[in-house]
Structure formats: structure tokens, C-alpha cells
Homo-oligomer: A and B are copies of this chain.
């Protein structure tokens, strides 16, 4: 029977479509189309119970999980990666607790956070980002989920070289991953995995060809299409009308 503590991040959910990630703080309010909730009133409530708006509408008081926090709490100034691509990349990279990985660019830090969590507590993420503002942004975001310890943010241009060696995996979410291939080759340990995520076919083509030229093995180009289904007792099952959105292509390869 865990209770909400002051300062906790809480997920408010109407049981249907609306969810809000809020902070349990006195003096703050959440304004929804179903009414106003005093956020201070969340303190000492039991997770799983409900709270009413001033209009009497109920919202569940839920504990957010890591995915909620990263996508709900992080300030985002860049396009971010989503679970379908992140999950696949982490499995392909074969990383786990203790792995040492290089990432570029840091951006808002969403991928950074998932990588840090995958290699924590013993591993480390070295994250390169050329724009200083994003370094600051990612620093704030990572602190919000308690992962600052597992990440070394580096305000450097990764195309100028990777400083770490004997790295387990390199993750590139940047427009020109092919420019990092020679230094990734140098930085990775034998069997280490190269991963890049790019939105266009042309970037995928350029990266894959360059990887083979530079001697990487097992160059694979894939795309993951996520389809949502609506299941209803009355209407049955059909794909969601939202459709299958394009995110990007994933290129993976291994250093021989």
C-alpha cells in the first residue's frame, strides 16, 4: 500500500484515453477538460486509488514506470527514438549490465536513458553531442530519472574521433553516421556492434555500403513497422486508423 510522497511524479489516468504525468506539489493544479485537480491533494494518497476533479470526475493515481518518465518527463527539442526501435537496437547490440557503449548525438537523451538503464549499474554510456544546449538538456533529463551516474556527456564532435576504446557497442542517431564508421571501427572491441538509426533510404544505403568498405561484418538493414490494433467487444478487431508510421531504418554490423 504505497503512498504518494511530496515531489513524486504521478500518472493520472481517466481509465480511457487521457493520461497526465504530474508532480505531487502543494499549490499546483492540473487543468483538464474533465475539471481541475489540486496536485497537493495527491500527497499521502495510496497508489491505485482515485482522485476527483472539482467537477467530480475520477482519475486513477498511478505510479509512472521508466517509459512514462522518459517520454513524459523529458524536455524534448529533438526527434526522439521510440520503444520499437530502441528495444531492437539494444538486443542486437547484445549489451547488458557492465557494457561500455558510445552514443552520438545525445539530443534530448531519450536513447541515452534507455542505454544507461541497460548497462547500469556497472556499465557506462559515453554520449557525444556537438551542440552544447543539448548537453545541458540531456543532463537535466537524465537527472530526472536518476541515471546521471551511468552517463558521461561529452560536448564533442563524434565525427572528429571517438576517444574510448574496447567499446562494446556504438549507437548513432545522427544525420551522417557514415562519417563515424572509421573511428567506430577503431573504438569497438572485436565483435563489438555498430548500430545506426536513420530516417531515409539514402542514408541507410550510404551507411551500409561504407560499413562493408571499412571491413565490418554482418551488415544488416532493417525497418520495424509497428501496427496498433483496436480490440472491442462490440466492434471486434481491426488495425488502428492511426496507421503504421515511419520512424526510420536500423543498420547494424559487427567489427571483425
Contact = CB atoms under 8 A, between A and B. Distances in A.
Contacts of A231: 204-205, 208-209, 219, 221
B245 A243 contact: yes
Interface of A is mostly: mixed
Interface in A193-239: 193, 199-205, 208-209, 217-231, 233, 235-239
Interface residues of A, number: 73
In the complex, the count of this chain's copies comes to 4
B205 A236 contact: yes
Contacts of A83: 88, 91-92
Contact of A87 (B89, B96, B230): B89
Interface of A: 2, 13, 15, 19, 47-48, 60, 62-67, 83-84, 86-92, 94, 96-97, 114, 117-118, 120-121, 190-191, 193, 199-205, 208-209, 217-231, 233, 235-246, 249, 254, 256
Contact of A47 (B191, B205, B226, B236): B191
Contacts of A96: 66, 117-118, 120
A198 to B, nearest CB: 9
